[in-house]
Structure 1
Amino acid sequence: MDIIDVTNPRRILAVSLADPDSTRHLTTVIKDLTGTLPEQASTSLAGSSHNLSIKTTYYKAEVPIWIDLISSPSEWSSSFLSSEAKEVLEVLGGIVLVFSLPIEFQSDEGNRARELIQHVGKVIKDGLGGWSWDGVCLCLGVGEVDDVDDWEDCCSDSALEFVQVRRQSVLGRNEFGEKMGIPRVLEALEANDWSQASLDDLGSDFGYFEAELGIGQDKDTEEKGPDLDPETLGFGFDREDFAGLKQAILEAGQEPEEELPNGESSTSTTKVADEENLGDEDIQQIETMIAKLQVVRETAAGLPEEQRKRLAAKAVAEVMKDMH
């Protein structure tokens, strides 16, 4: 199976407060993620760029990391929510916020950290769509604090996943078997979709699945749509399954079957035609499509439900679009 080469990927925006400790933590985190230290732009780290090389079983990408230091969280969020910053937000695929984890949640340092998180969250929710955005939003608290429940809640309220990064004691996994620290950050970044295609580019095919899943609808009125959970789609790699997979995906976007004069249904007629015309080129195309779907199925399980559904809908819609 060929590895997909993601060219011109979306960007990561990595931010921290502009004080020396926060900047040091941000620099260290970027080195841990990429293997190299970021180079300063002139006299400051702000405005510089660094690359993160991602290579998985299914794709590879050189993802640019834009680095920014925040002096005033309120002014920063206002500038990123202005019309001038719209093009910047449109090319983002991830936000990584790094802060020094205060010992006390209710303290001057804690208040400043919460203000930072809330204003970064404001950009995520008002500018990107919050949890429904198809990007990854991580908040890295660097420190040895044992009780981080309040910080997890604070970050969740701002549509950010909290990840604690310890320096003195490195733990690979927590009691639930989940990765922690930098390994969890890398896992989340590898699970993300870095392609530049916007939601609007997916056209009516995506709109169909989005409507069926109830994404963007009022929760009191939405109806349950078809099960497009990537964990239950059951994609396979056996050659004899390719024709069935192709037909199943095609039928997902069709109107309900109509009975023809000879007693056959419109979908059964289409199925026969598709099976007869399925050649080596079709199989190769479907193999590539399955690779895309498999990425979502195997990596999206740790994401929030709304984001997971959106990625599943987007992946299936892209497959449908390629098939037509």
Structure 2
Amino acid sequence: MEVQNPRRILVLGPPNCGSLQLLKDLTGSAPTPVDNSTAGLSHEWRLETRYYKATIPTWVDEVADIAEWRTEFMKDEAKEVVAVLGAFIYCFRRPLDSKDVESIKEALKAIQDVGAAGGAGSDWGYGGEVVRLAVAMPQSTTPYLEKDFEEWDEMCGEFGFEYVDFEAKGRNEYGEPVGIERIKEALSTNEWAAEADDDDVEEALAELGLDEDGDFNGSFAAEEVEINMEFMGMKEAIYGEDGEPSGTVDDDQAAQVEELERMMVRMQAVKGMSFRVKQSRHC
């Protein structure tokens, strides 16, 4: 299923924060700076999963003065821009000293304020509908300030951001992907097609067997497999094993296939949402 008119990704950070390096590793390419600046650049990420395909417009912003940026984006005319965002990715170089850490906190708080005021959700926690990632990029200057993952995770979590160490590889102790693979995973499980309100979230949780604490009742994995098998079986019945139509496809059959695709996309989105809810409770 192709997602039409998807929401946008906003990648931002101070000058020379490494945002283009992140985009290159994420998408395979990166836009060209204009006058040595990344401000106002645009890019695209072709995202393809088992359940949907989408070309995600990606905006890049270079923020030299975070207080000024906050003032501009808190204006009413900027709310329409913020409302179409599906992800904020804040990039920063590893800090050299405690002053740099305070600057990072100030930036995360400013983005939190802008997102909440602009329609990205007043509940700026992990359970929201907008992905928020704070990504620590490599620092060429040494020595830099050392902080362990738990310290970073707690600090970023205070502002509703998930901390990601860009240089991390493989998986963590819980078997979860880290680094650029975690960024891809977080973005892939997002709901790009539309913004869901609280009623939609509650309905989705109920449909997928989740209780009010975000825990799985019964076998969520089994339900996912069942839907996937039903979907594949229906497609094969309609189109044949080689993907060619085996007969006349009526509107009802096409609608059923589309509905199953929608359910799978929604299931992936809620799985990601549930993960963020659980993460917030561990903080």
So what's the TM-score if we normalise by structure 1?
A: 0.65
Structure 1 position 192, deviation (Å): 1.0
C-alpha contact 1:231 1:301 (8 A) present in aligned 2: no
SS at match of 2:61: strand
Paired AA for residue 193 in structure 1: E
Matching residue within 88, 99, 106 for 1:108: 99
Matching residue within 252, 255, 258 for 1:282: 252
Structure 1 position 146, deviation (Å): 5.9
So what's the TM-score if we normalise by structure 2?
A: 0.73
Matching residue within 74, 77, 87 for 1:81: 74
- Give me the whole-angstrom Cα distance separating, in 1, the residues matched to 2:29 and 2:66: 28
Q: Does 1:135 align with 2:130?
A: yes
1:239 and 1:231, CA in 2 relative to 1: closer, same or farther beyond 3 A? closer
Q: Superposition pairs for residues 113-124 of structure 1, below 5 Å?
A: 113-124=104-115
Paired AA for residue 173 in structure 1: R
Query: Which stretches in structure 1 are left out of the alignment for 5+ residues?
Result: 201-205, 215-222, 243-278, 309-324
Q: Superposition pairs for residues 10-89 of structure 1, below 5 Å?
A: 10-18=7-15, 20=16, 22=17, 25-41=18-34, 43-89=36-82
Residues 165-208 of structure 1: CA deviation (Å, up to 9, x unaligned): 11xxx52101110000001101111111111x3447xxxxx847
Measured on the aligned residues, the alpha-carbon RMSD in Å equals: 3.4
Q: How many aligned positions are there?
A: 245
Query: Which stretches in structure 2 are left out of the alignment for 5+ residues?
Result: 140-145, 234-248, 279-283
Tell me which structure has the larger Cα radius of gyration. Answer: 1
C-alpha contact 2:11 2:59 (8 A) present in aligned 1: yes
- Give me the whole-angstrom Cα distance separating, in 1, the residues matched to 2:214 and 2:107: 39
- Give me the whole-angstrom Cα distance separating, in 1, the residues matched to 2:82 and 2:164: 23
**Counterpart of 2:86?**
93
Structure 1 position 87, deviation (Å): 0.9
1:77 and 1:135, CA in 2 relative to 1: closer, same or farther beyond 3 A? same
- Give me the whole-angstrom Cα distance separating, in 1, the residues matched to 2:32 and 2:63: 18
- Give me the whole-angstrom Cα distance separating, in 1, the residues matched to 2:20 and 2:150: 26
C-alpha contact 2:47 2:55 (8 A) present in aligned 1: yes
Q: Superposition pairs for residues 117-196 of structure 1, below 5 Å?
A: 117-127=108-118, 128-129=120-121, 130-131=124-125, 132-143=127-138, 145=146, 147-166=148-167, 170-195=168-193
SS at match of 2:223: coil
